[in-house]
Amino acid sequence: MIAQTTRNNLRRILDGSHRQMFIGGEWVDALSGAVIESRNPANGALLATVPAGSQADIDRAVSAARVAFEGPWSRFKPYERQVLLLKIADLFERHWDELSLSDTLDMGMPIARTRAGKNRVLGMLRFYAGQATALHGETIANSLPGEIVSYTRREALGVVGAIIPWNAPTAASIWKIGPALATGCTIVLKPSEEAPLTPLLIAELMAEAGVPAGVVNIVTGTGSNAGAPLASHPDVDKIVFTGSTATGQSIIRASAGNLKRVSLELGGKSPVIVCEDADLERAVPTAAMAVFANSGQICIAGSRLFVARAIHDEFVERLGAFAKGLRLGDGIDPGTEIGPLISGRQRERVLHYLGEGPAEGATLVAGGGRPDRGDLAQGHYIEPTVFAGVTDTMTIAREEIFGPVIAAMPFDTIEEVIQRANATPYGLAAGIFTQNLSGAHRISNALKAGSVWVNTYHAIDPAVPFGGYKMSGYGREGGIEHLHEYLNTKGVFIRID
Protein backbone atom coordinates (compact mmCIF):
# COMPACT_ATOMS: atom_id res chain seq x y z
CA MET A 1 0.00 0.00 0.00
CA ILE A 2 1.06 3.62 -0.59
CA ALA A 3 1.90 5.34 2.70
CA GLN A 4 -0.75 7.78 3.90
CA THR A 5 1.84 10.53 4.27
CA THR A 6 2.76 10.12 0.61
CA ARG A 7 -0.91 10.31 -0.37
CA ASN A 8 -1.24 13.52 1.63
CA ASN A 9 1.85 14.99 -0.02
CA LEU A 10 0.39 14.20 -3.44
CA ARG A 11 -3.13 15.45 -2.82
CA ARG A 12 -2.40 18.40 -5.08
CA ILE A 13 -1.80 15.91 -7.92
CA LEU A 14 -4.75 13.69 -7.21
CA ASP A 15 -7.40 16.40 -6.92
CA GLY A 16 -7.08 17.96 -10.38
CA SER A 17 -5.65 21.23 -9.06
CA HIS A 18 -3.47 23.65 -11.01
CA ARG A 19 0.33 23.50 -10.87
CA GLN A 20 2.56 26.38 -11.95
CA MET A 21 5.89 26.16 -13.76
CA PHE A 22 9.25 27.26 -12.32
CA ILE A 23 11.16 30.17 -13.87
CA GLY A 24 13.87 32.28 -12.24
CA GLY A 25 13.18 30.77 -8.83
CA GLU A 26 9.46 31.67 -8.95
CA TRP A 27 6.27 29.74 -9.60
CA VAL A 28 4.49 31.31 -12.56
CA ASP A 29 1.77 30.67 -15.10
CA ALA A 30 2.11 30.95 -18.87
CA LEU A 31 1.93 34.54 -20.02
CA SER A 32 -0.93 33.53 -22.29
CA GLY A 33 -2.86 31.98 -19.40
CA ALA A 34 -3.34 28.77 -21.42
CA VAL A 35 -3.20 25.40 -19.63
CA ILE A 36 -2.71 21.71 -20.42
CA GLU A 37 -4.46 18.83 -18.69
CA SER A 38 -2.48 15.94 -17.24
CA ARG A 39 -4.55 12.77 -16.97
CA ASN A 40 -3.90 9.40 -15.40
CA PRO A 41 -3.43 6.92 -18.29
CA ALA A 42 -4.77 4.10 -16.10
CA ASN A 43 -8.27 5.57 -15.83
CA GLY A 44 -8.44 8.95 -17.54
CA ALA A 45 -8.82 10.88 -14.26
CA LEU A 46 -7.64 14.49 -14.26
CA LEU A 47 -4.50 14.78 -12.16
CA ALA A 48 -3.73 18.47 -12.64
CA THR A 49 -3.52 21.30 -15.09
CA VAL A 50 -0.20 22.95 -15.93
CA PRO A 51 0.71 26.07 -17.89
CA ALA A 52 0.91 25.78 -21.67
CA GLY A 53 4.17 27.62 -22.13
CA SER A 54 5.07 29.31 -25.40
CA GLN A 55 7.85 31.35 -27.02
CA ALA A 56 7.38 34.20 -24.53
CA ASP A 57 7.76 31.84 -21.57
CA ILE A 58 10.83 30.21 -23.09
CA ASP A 59 12.31 33.67 -23.58
CA ARG A 60 11.92 34.60 -19.92
CA ALA A 61 13.26 31.21 -18.76
CA VAL A 62 16.33 31.46 -20.99
CA SER A 63 16.87 35.04 -19.79
CA ALA A 64 16.69 33.88 -16.16
CA ALA A 65 19.15 31.08 -16.91
CA ARG A 66 21.58 33.51 -18.59
CA VAL A 67 21.45 35.95 -15.68
CA ALA A 68 22.11 33.11 -13.24
CA PHE A 69 24.96 31.72 -15.34
CA GLU A 70 26.73 35.06 -15.46
CA GLY A 71 25.82 35.98 -11.89
CA PRO A 72 26.09 34.22 -8.52
CA TRP A 73 26.18 30.71 -10.00
CA SER A 74 29.40 31.51 -11.87
CA ARG A 75 31.13 32.06 -8.52
CA PHE A 76 30.21 28.64 -7.10
CA LYS A 77 33.36 26.59 -6.63
CA PRO A 78 33.46 22.92 -7.68
CA TYR A 79 33.22 21.86 -4.04
CA GLU A 80 30.13 24.03 -3.52
CA ARG A 81 28.45 22.47 -6.57
CA GLN A 82 29.34 19.04 -5.18
CA VAL A 83 27.79 19.83 -1.79
CA LEU A 84 24.64 21.11 -3.50
CA LEU A 85 24.25 17.96 -5.59
CA LEU A 86 24.72 15.77 -2.52
CA LYS A 87 22.04 17.77 -0.72
CA ILE A 88 19.69 17.28 -3.68
CA ALA A 89 20.39 13.54 -3.58
CA ASP A 90 19.53 13.42 0.12
CA LEU A 91 16.25 15.24 -0.55
CA PHE A 92 15.42 12.84 -3.35
CA GLU A 93 16.05 9.94 -1.03
CA ARG A 94 13.70 11.36 1.59
CA HIS A 95 10.99 12.12 -0.98
CA TRP A 96 11.39 9.03 -3.15
CA ASP A 97 7.92 7.65 -2.40
CA GLU A 98 6.44 10.91 -3.59
CA LEU A 99 8.56 11.02 -6.76
CA SER A 100 7.91 7.40 -7.69
CA LEU A 101 4.16 7.71 -7.11
CA SER A 102 4.08 10.87 -9.20
CA ASP A 103 5.76 9.05 -12.10
CA THR A 104 3.31 6.14 -11.78
CA LEU A 105 0.24 8.37 -11.74
CA ASP A 106 1.41 10.62 -14.55
CA MET A 107 2.71 8.07 -17.07
CA GLY A 108 1.50 4.65 -15.90
CA MET A 109 4.67 2.72 -15.06
CA PRO A 110 3.95 0.19 -12.27
CA ILE A 111 4.85 1.48 -8.81
CA ALA A 112 7.14 -1.52 -8.26
CA ARG A 113 9.30 -0.30 -11.15
CA THR A 114 9.27 3.41 -10.30
CA ARG A 115 10.24 2.59 -6.72
CA ALA A 116 13.02 0.33 -8.00
CA GLY A 117 14.53 3.27 -9.91
CA LYS A 118 15.67 4.85 -6.65
CA ASN A 119 19.24 3.57 -6.68
CA ARG A 120 19.74 4.56 -10.30
CA VAL A 121 18.61 8.16 -9.77
CA LEU A 122 20.43 8.61 -6.46
CA GLY A 123 23.48 7.02 -8.07
CA MET A 124 23.37 9.54 -10.89
CA LEU A 125 23.15 12.51 -8.54
CA ARG A 126 26.01 11.28 -6.38
CA PHE A 127 28.12 10.37 -9.40
CA TYR A 128 27.70 13.89 -10.80
CA ALA A 129 28.52 15.29 -7.37
CA GLY A 130 31.78 13.37 -7.36
CA GLN A 131 32.64 14.57 -10.84
CA ALA A 132 32.07 18.23 -9.96
CA THR A 133 35.47 18.35 -8.24
CA ALA A 134 37.21 16.02 -10.71
CA LEU A 135 36.84 18.05 -13.91
CA HIS A 136 40.12 19.54 -15.06
CA GLY A 137 42.24 20.50 -18.03
CA GLU A 138 45.70 19.28 -18.91
CA THR A 139 49.20 20.71 -19.17
CA ILE A 140 50.41 19.78 -22.65
CA ALA A 141 54.01 19.79 -23.90
CA ASN A 142 54.20 21.75 -27.16
CA SER A 143 56.82 22.03 -29.94
CA LEU A 144 56.88 25.82 -30.27
CA PRO A 145 60.17 27.76 -30.23
CA GLY A 146 61.10 29.45 -26.96
CA GLU A 147 59.59 28.76 -23.56
CA ILE A 148 55.84 28.62 -23.90
CA VAL A 149 53.62 26.81 -21.44
CA SER A 150 50.43 25.36 -22.89
CA TYR A 151 47.45 23.99 -21.04
CA THR A 152 43.71 23.49 -21.40
CA ARG A 153 40.76 24.66 -19.34
CA ARG A 154 37.36 23.00 -19.10
CA GLU A 155 34.69 25.70 -18.97
CA ALA A 156 30.92 25.48 -18.61
CA LEU A 157 29.09 25.86 -21.91
CA GLY A 158 26.42 28.20 -20.55
CA VAL A 159 22.65 27.86 -20.89
CA VAL A 160 21.41 24.37 -21.66
CA GLY A 161 17.99 23.62 -23.13
CA ALA A 162 16.71 20.14 -22.29
CA ILE A 163 13.68 18.40 -23.77
CA ILE A 164 12.69 15.10 -22.16
CA PRO A 165 10.12 12.39 -22.96
CA TRP A 166 7.29 11.08 -20.81
CA ASN A 167 8.46 7.51 -20.26
CA ALA A 168 10.79 8.11 -17.26
CA PRO A 169 10.29 11.66 -15.96
CA THR A 170 12.47 11.48 -12.82
CA ALA A 171 15.45 9.72 -14.37
CA ALA A 172 15.27 11.74 -17.59
CA SER A 173 15.18 15.01 -15.65
CA ILE A 174 18.23 14.14 -13.58
CA TRP A 175 20.14 12.89 -16.61
CA LYS A 176 19.91 16.48 -17.88
CA ILE A 177 19.97 18.54 -14.67
CA GLY A 178 22.74 16.58 -12.93
CA PRO A 179 25.56 17.24 -15.41
CA ALA A 180 24.44 20.87 -15.83
CA LEU A 181 24.84 21.50 -12.10
CA ALA A 182 28.10 19.56 -11.88
CA THR A 183 29.75 21.56 -14.66
CA GLY A 184 28.39 24.98 -13.70
CA CYS A 185 25.84 25.35 -16.52
CA THR A 186 22.27 26.54 -16.09
CA ILE A 187 19.28 24.77 -17.60
CA VAL A 188 15.80 25.26 -19.02
CA LEU A 189 13.99 21.92 -19.00
CA LYS A 190 10.87 21.27 -21.05
CA PRO A 191 9.10 18.09 -19.91
CA SER A 192 6.68 16.20 -22.11
CA GLU A 193 3.15 17.55 -22.05
CA GLU A 194 2.07 13.92 -21.51
CA ALA A 195 3.82 13.70 -18.10
CA PRO A 196 4.78 17.12 -16.73
CA LEU A 197 4.11 16.70 -13.00
CA THR A 198 7.21 14.98 -11.64
CA PRO A 199 9.61 17.60 -13.09
CA LEU A 200 7.61 20.23 -11.20
CA LEU A 201 8.06 18.22 -7.98
CA ILE A 202 11.77 18.08 -8.80
CA ALA A 203 11.79 21.87 -9.10
CA GLU A 204 10.40 22.08 -5.56
CA LEU A 205 13.25 19.92 -4.29
CA MET A 206 15.81 21.99 -6.18
CA ALA A 207 14.50 25.14 -4.51
CA GLU A 208 14.49 23.44 -1.10
CA ALA A 209 18.11 22.35 -1.62
CA GLY A 210 19.15 25.96 -2.24
CA VAL A 211 19.77 25.90 -5.98
CA PRO A 212 20.12 29.61 -6.89
CA ALA A 213 17.26 31.26 -8.77
CA GLY A 214 17.48 30.76 -12.52
CA VAL A 215 19.91 27.84 -12.42
CA VAL A 216 17.12 25.27 -12.96
CA ASN A 217 13.97 26.33 -14.81
CA ILE A 218 11.02 24.09 -15.76
CA VAL A 219 8.75 25.26 -18.58
CA THR A 220 5.71 23.09 -19.33
CA GLY A 221 4.08 23.10 -22.74
CA THR A 222 3.79 21.26 -26.02
CA GLY A 223 6.65 20.38 -28.30
CA SER A 224 5.58 22.78 -31.02
CA ASN A 225 4.83 25.76 -28.75
CA ALA A 226 7.59 25.40 -26.14
CA GLY A 227 10.05 22.73 -27.30
CA ALA A 228 10.66 24.16 -30.75
CA PRO A 229 11.34 27.72 -29.48
CA LEU A 230 13.78 26.28 -26.95
CA ALA A 231 15.64 24.30 -29.62
CA SER A 232 16.01 27.34 -31.87
CA HIS A 233 16.63 29.95 -29.17
CA PRO A 234 19.66 32.11 -30.02
CA ASP A 235 20.75 32.42 -26.38
CA VAL A 236 20.79 28.68 -25.67
CA ASP A 237 24.32 27.25 -25.91
CA LYS A 238 23.40 23.56 -25.96
CA ILE A 239 20.30 21.49 -26.56
CA VAL A 240 19.88 17.98 -25.16
CA PHE A 241 16.97 15.88 -26.33
CA THR A 242 15.58 12.42 -25.70
CA GLY A 243 12.77 11.26 -27.95
CA SER A 244 11.92 10.23 -31.49
CA THR A 245 14.36 10.28 -34.38
CA ALA A 246 12.06 12.50 -36.45
CA THR A 247 11.92 15.14 -33.70
CA GLY A 248 15.69 14.85 -33.24
CA GLN A 249 16.18 15.70 -36.89
CA SER A 250 13.96 18.76 -36.45
CA ILE A 251 16.04 19.85 -33.47
CA ILE A 252 19.24 19.59 -35.48
CA ARG A 253 17.77 21.89 -38.09
CA ALA A 254 16.50 24.30 -35.42
CA SER A 255 19.93 24.42 -33.76
CA ALA A 256 21.66 25.75 -36.86
CA GLY A 257 20.85 29.40 -36.14
CA ASN A 258 23.61 29.82 -33.56
CA LEU A 259 25.31 26.44 -34.11
CA LYS A 260 24.46 25.37 -30.59
CA ARG A 261 25.93 22.13 -29.27
CA VAL A 262 23.49 19.21 -29.66
CA SER A 263 23.18 15.84 -27.88
CA LEU A 264 20.48 13.42 -29.03
CA GLU A 265 19.26 10.14 -27.56
CA LEU A 266 16.74 8.90 -30.10
CA GLY A 267 14.78 5.86 -31.15
CA GLY A 268 15.75 2.24 -31.51
CA LYS A 269 14.77 -1.16 -32.86
CA SER A 270 17.10 -3.17 -30.69
CA PRO A 271 17.98 -6.80 -31.43
CA VAL A 272 18.12 -9.55 -28.81
CA ILE A 273 20.07 -12.65 -29.87
CA VAL A 274 19.42 -15.95 -28.10
CA CYS A 275 22.09 -18.53 -28.91
CA GLU A 276 21.52 -22.28 -28.84
CA ASP A 277 23.45 -22.66 -25.56
CA ALA A 278 21.50 -19.93 -23.71
CA ASP A 279 20.17 -20.58 -20.23
CA LEU A 280 16.46 -20.49 -21.00
CA GLU A 281 15.44 -20.06 -17.37
CA ARG A 282 17.23 -16.71 -17.45
CA ALA A 283 16.80 -15.80 -21.09
CA VAL A 284 13.01 -16.15 -21.43
CA PRO A 285 11.93 -13.71 -18.68
CA THR A 286 14.80 -11.31 -19.37
CA ALA A 287 14.14 -11.18 -23.11
CA ALA A 288 10.41 -10.74 -22.42
CA MET A 289 10.91 -7.83 -20.02
CA ALA A 290 13.46 -6.30 -22.39
CA VAL A 291 10.30 -5.25 -24.24
CA PHE A 292 7.40 -5.53 -21.81
CA ALA A 293 9.01 -3.34 -19.13
CA ASN A 294 7.13 -0.02 -19.11
CA SER A 295 4.70 -1.55 -21.61
CA GLY A 296 7.33 -1.38 -24.33
CA GLN A 297 7.54 2.40 -24.03
CA ILE A 298 11.31 2.53 -23.80
CA CYS A 299 13.84 3.45 -26.45
CA ILE A 300 16.08 0.44 -25.74
CA ALA A 301 13.26 -2.12 -25.99
CA GLY A 302 14.66 -5.37 -27.42
CA SER A 303 11.77 -5.80 -29.82
CA ARG A 304 13.56 -7.83 -32.53
CA LEU A 305 14.12 -11.28 -31.04
CA PHE A 306 16.49 -13.58 -32.94
CA VAL A 307 16.47 -17.17 -31.61
CA ALA A 308 18.71 -20.01 -32.74
CA ARG A 309 16.59 -22.32 -34.88
CA ALA A 310 17.29 -25.40 -32.74
CA ILE A 311 15.58 -23.83 -29.72
CA HIS A 312 13.27 -21.37 -31.49
CA ASP A 313 9.96 -23.20 -31.07
CA GLU A 314 10.54 -24.03 -27.41
CA PHE A 315 11.69 -20.51 -26.66
CA VAL A 316 8.70 -18.90 -28.35
CA GLU A 317 6.30 -21.25 -26.54
CA ARG A 318 7.84 -20.33 -23.19
CA LEU A 319 7.83 -16.64 -24.12
CA GLY A 320 4.14 -16.75 -25.01
CA ALA A 321 3.30 -18.44 -21.72
CA PHE A 322 5.29 -15.82 -19.83
CA ALA A 323 3.51 -12.99 -21.66
CA LYS A 324 0.08 -14.48 -20.90
CA GLY A 325 0.96 -14.73 -17.21
CA LEU A 326 1.84 -11.05 -16.76
CA ARG A 327 -0.63 -9.03 -14.72
CA LEU A 328 -2.03 -5.89 -16.34
CA GLY A 329 -3.49 -3.13 -14.23
CA ASP A 330 -3.29 0.30 -12.68
CA GLY A 331 0.33 1.08 -11.92
CA ILE A 332 -0.55 2.18 -8.41
CA ASP A 333 -1.33 -1.45 -7.52
CA PRO A 334 1.91 -3.05 -6.21
CA GLY A 335 0.96 -6.31 -7.93
CA THR A 336 0.75 -4.77 -11.40
CA GLU A 337 3.45 -5.91 -13.81
CA ILE A 338 2.26 -4.17 -16.99
CA GLY A 339 0.68 -0.73 -16.82
CA PRO A 340 -1.15 1.33 -19.45
CA LEU A 341 0.31 3.12 -22.43
CA ILE A 342 0.69 6.86 -22.00
CA SER A 343 -2.34 7.92 -24.08
CA GLY A 344 -5.18 6.85 -26.28
CA ARG A 345 -3.25 8.09 -29.28
CA GLN A 346 -0.30 5.85 -28.43
CA ARG A 347 -2.64 2.90 -27.85
CA GLU A 348 -4.19 3.37 -31.29
CA ARG A 349 -0.73 3.56 -32.83
CA VAL A 350 0.24 0.24 -31.27
CA LEU A 351 -3.07 -1.35 -32.28
CA HIS A 352 -2.27 -0.38 -35.87
CA TYR A 353 0.98 -2.37 -35.67
CA LEU A 354 -0.85 -5.30 -34.10
CA GLY A 355 -2.99 -5.38 -37.22
CA GLU A 356 0.01 -5.10 -39.52
CA GLY A 357 1.63 -8.25 -38.11
CA PRO A 358 -0.99 -10.83 -39.17
CA ALA A 359 -1.73 -8.90 -42.36
CA GLU A 360 1.88 -9.41 -43.46
CA GLY A 361 1.96 -13.08 -42.44
CA ALA A 362 3.14 -13.12 -38.82
CA THR A 363 1.66 -15.63 -36.38
CA LEU A 364 0.16 -14.34 -33.16
CA VAL A 365 1.44 -16.34 -30.17
CA ALA A 366 0.17 -14.20 -27.28
CA GLY A 367 -1.75 -10.98 -26.72
CA GLY A 368 -2.59 -8.99 -29.77
CA GLY A 369 -5.24 -6.56 -28.59
CA ARG A 370 -6.89 -4.52 -25.87
CA PRO A 371 -7.86 -6.35 -22.67
CA ASP A 372 -11.62 -6.49 -22.16
CA ARG A 373 -11.68 -6.67 -18.35
CA GLY A 374 -14.01 -4.11 -16.84
CA ASP A 375 -11.45 -2.52 -14.54
CA LEU A 376 -9.16 -1.84 -17.53
CA ALA A 377 -11.80 -0.34 -19.80
CA GLN A 378 -11.01 3.29 -18.99
CA GLY A 379 -7.25 2.96 -19.40
CA HIS A 380 -4.91 2.80 -22.37
CA TYR A 381 -3.94 -0.86 -22.07
CA ILE A 382 -2.44 -3.27 -24.61
CA GLU A 383 -1.83 -6.96 -23.93
CA PRO A 384 1.81 -8.11 -23.94
CA THR A 385 2.13 -9.45 -27.46
CA VAL A 386 4.40 -12.03 -29.09
CA PHE A 387 4.55 -12.63 -32.85
CA ALA A 388 6.36 -15.56 -34.47
CA GLY A 389 6.89 -16.32 -38.15
CA VAL A 390 8.23 -12.78 -38.58
CA THR A 391 10.61 -11.85 -41.40
CA ASP A 392 13.09 -8.98 -41.47
CA THR A 393 11.05 -7.08 -44.04
CA MET A 394 7.80 -6.98 -42.05
CA THR A 395 6.69 -3.66 -40.64
CA ILE A 396 6.72 -4.95 -37.04
CA ALA A 397 10.39 -5.98 -37.51
CA ARG A 398 11.50 -2.66 -39.03
CA GLU A 399 9.64 0.17 -37.30
CA GLU A 400 9.81 1.31 -33.69
CA ILE A 401 6.43 0.44 -32.17
CA PHE A 402 6.93 1.79 -28.64
CA GLY A 403 4.53 -0.78 -27.25
CA PRO A 404 4.66 -4.27 -25.68
CA VAL A 405 5.26 -6.15 -28.94
CA ILE A 406 7.96 -8.79 -29.63
CA ALA A 407 8.79 -9.98 -33.14
CA ALA A 408 10.46 -13.41 -32.91
CA MET A 409 12.60 -14.76 -35.78
CA PRO A 410 14.84 -17.84 -36.12
CA PHE A 411 18.48 -17.73 -37.24
CA ASP A 412 20.97 -20.39 -38.35
CA THR A 413 24.51 -18.96 -38.04
CA ILE A 414 26.26 -16.31 -35.98
CA GLU A 415 27.46 -14.54 -39.14
CA GLU A 416 23.88 -14.39 -40.39
CA VAL A 417 22.37 -13.05 -37.18
CA ILE A 418 25.04 -10.35 -36.81
CA GLN A 419 24.29 -9.13 -40.32
CA ARG A 420 20.53 -9.16 -39.71
CA ALA A 421 20.82 -7.50 -36.31
CA ASN A 422 22.82 -4.65 -37.83
CA ALA A 423 20.48 -4.26 -40.83
CA THR A 424 18.56 -1.35 -39.31
CA PRO A 425 18.98 2.43 -39.36
CA TYR A 426 19.04 2.35 -35.55
CA GLY A 427 21.85 1.43 -33.18
CA LEU A 428 20.88 2.14 -29.60
CA ALA A 429 21.13 -1.18 -27.77
CA ALA A 430 21.34 -4.96 -28.16
CA GLY A 431 21.16 -8.09 -26.05
CA ILE A 432 22.89 -11.47 -26.26
CA PHE A 433 22.13 -14.69 -24.39
CA THR A 434 24.88 -17.28 -24.46
CA GLN A 435 27.10 -19.27 -22.10
CA ASN A 436 30.00 -19.10 -24.54
CA LEU A 437 32.44 -16.39 -23.48
CA SER A 438 34.19 -16.22 -26.85
CA GLY A 439 30.84 -16.00 -28.64
CA ALA A 440 29.68 -13.21 -26.33
CA HIS A 441 32.77 -11.12 -27.13
CA ARG A 442 32.61 -11.89 -30.84
CA ILE A 443 28.96 -10.90 -31.21
CA SER A 444 29.12 -7.85 -28.92
CA ASN A 445 32.15 -6.52 -30.82
CA ALA A 446 30.35 -6.89 -34.14
CA LEU A 447 27.02 -5.28 -33.18
CA LYS A 448 26.57 -1.64 -34.14
CA ALA A 449 24.94 -0.44 -30.95
CA GLY A 450 25.83 1.96 -28.17
CA SER A 451 25.01 -0.52 -25.38
CA VAL A 452 25.29 -4.31 -25.52
CA TRP A 453 24.09 -6.54 -22.68
CA VAL A 454 25.08 -10.17 -22.29
CA ASN A 455 22.78 -12.45 -20.23
CA THR A 456 21.02 -9.37 -18.86
CA TYR A 457 19.19 -6.29 -20.16
CA HIS A 458 18.45 -2.69 -19.12
CA ALA A 459 21.65 -2.48 -17.04
CA ILE A 460 22.58 1.22 -16.82
CA ASP A 461 25.20 2.68 -14.49
CA PRO A 462 26.02 6.37 -13.96
CA ALA A 463 29.73 5.76 -14.63
CA VAL A 464 29.15 4.00 -17.97
CA PRO A 465 28.39 6.04 -21.13
CA PHE A 466 24.99 5.49 -22.76
CA GLY A 467 23.97 6.57 -26.25
CA GLY A 468 23.38 5.49 -29.81
CA TYR A 469 24.94 4.75 -33.16
CA LYS A 470 23.48 5.74 -36.52
CA MET A 471 19.91 7.12 -36.38
CA SER A 472 19.73 6.52 -32.64
CA GLY A 473 21.55 9.79 -32.05
CA TYR A 474 24.90 11.11 -30.89
CA GLY A 475 26.49 12.28 -27.68
CA ARG A 476 26.55 10.25 -24.48
CA GLU A 477 24.72 10.30 -21.16
CA GLY A 478 26.54 8.79 -18.21
CA GLY A 479 30.25 8.52 -17.59
CA ILE A 480 32.94 11.18 -17.92
CA GLU A 481 31.95 11.70 -21.56
CA HIS A 482 28.57 12.96 -20.38
CA LEU A 483 30.14 15.77 -18.37
CA HIS A 484 32.36 16.75 -21.30
CA GLU A 485 29.21 17.30 -23.37
CA TYR A 486 28.48 20.29 -21.09
CA LEU A 487 31.97 21.81 -21.27
CA ASN A 488 34.05 23.82 -23.69
CA THR A 489 37.77 23.14 -23.92
CA LYS A 490 40.00 26.20 -24.11
CA GLY A 491 43.68 26.06 -25.09
CA VAL A 492 45.96 28.60 -23.32
CA PHE A 493 49.56 29.51 -24.31
CA ILE A 494 51.82 31.60 -22.03
CA ARG A 495 55.34 32.70 -23.02
CA ILE A 496 57.56 32.65 -19.95
CA ASP A 497 61.04 33.32 -21.44
Residues 459 and 485 in one domain: no
CB 473 within 8 A of CB 265: yes
Residues 291 and 232 in one domain: no
In a domain, 25, yes or no: yes
Question: Phi/psi zone of residue 341: left (φ > 0), alpha (ψ -120 to 50 degrees), beta?
Answer: beta
CB 157 within 8 A of CB 179: no
- State pTM to two decimals: 0.95
Residue type, 318: R
- In order along its 497 residues, the chain shows pLDDT tens digits of 344 555 555 555 567 899 999 999 999 999 999 999 999 999 999 999 999 999 999 999 999 999 999 999 999 999 999 999 999 999 999 999 999 999 999 999 999 999 999 999 999 999 999 999 999 999 999 999 999 999 999 999 999 999 999 999 999 999 999 999 999 999 999 999 999 999 999 999 999 999 999 999 999 999 999 999 999 999 999 999 999 999 999 999 999 999 999 999 999 999 999 999 999 999 999 999 999 999 999 999 999 999 999 999 999 999 999 999 999 999 999 999 999 999 999 999 999 999 999 999 999 999 999 998 888 988 999 999 999 999 999 999 999 999 999 999 999 999 999 999 999 999 999 999 999 999 999 999 999 999 999 999 999 999 999 999 999 999 999 999 999 999 999 999 999 98
Strand partners, 490: 153
Taking CA 46 as the corner, what is the angle to CA 294 and CA 219, rounded to the nearest 5 degrees? 75
Residues 413 and 289 in one domain: yes
Element (H, E) at 265: strand 261-265
In a domain, 318, yes or no: yes
Residue 415's pLDDT is 98
Residues 160 and 123 in one domain: yes
Give me the CATH number covering residue 37: 3.40.605.10
Residues 215 and 95 in one domain: yes
Residues 240 and 305 in one domain: no
Number of domains in the chain: 2
Residues 289 and 180 in one domain: no
**Helices marked H in 96-234 — which ranges?**
96-107, 111-116, 118-132, 169-183, 197-209, 228-232
Residues 223 and 311 in one domain: no
Residue 349's pLDDT is 97
Residues 286 and 390 in one domain: yes
Residues 357 and 211 in one domain: no
Residues 54 and 159 in one domain: yes
Three-class SS state of 451: strand
In a domain, 497, yes or no: no
**How many Cα atoms occupy the beta-carbon half-sphere of 309 within 13 Å?**
6
Which are the catalytic amino acids?
A: 265, 299
Domain extent, residue 243, equals 4-266+472-492
Residues 368 and 311 in one domain: yes
Give me the CATH number covering residue 446: 3.40.309.10
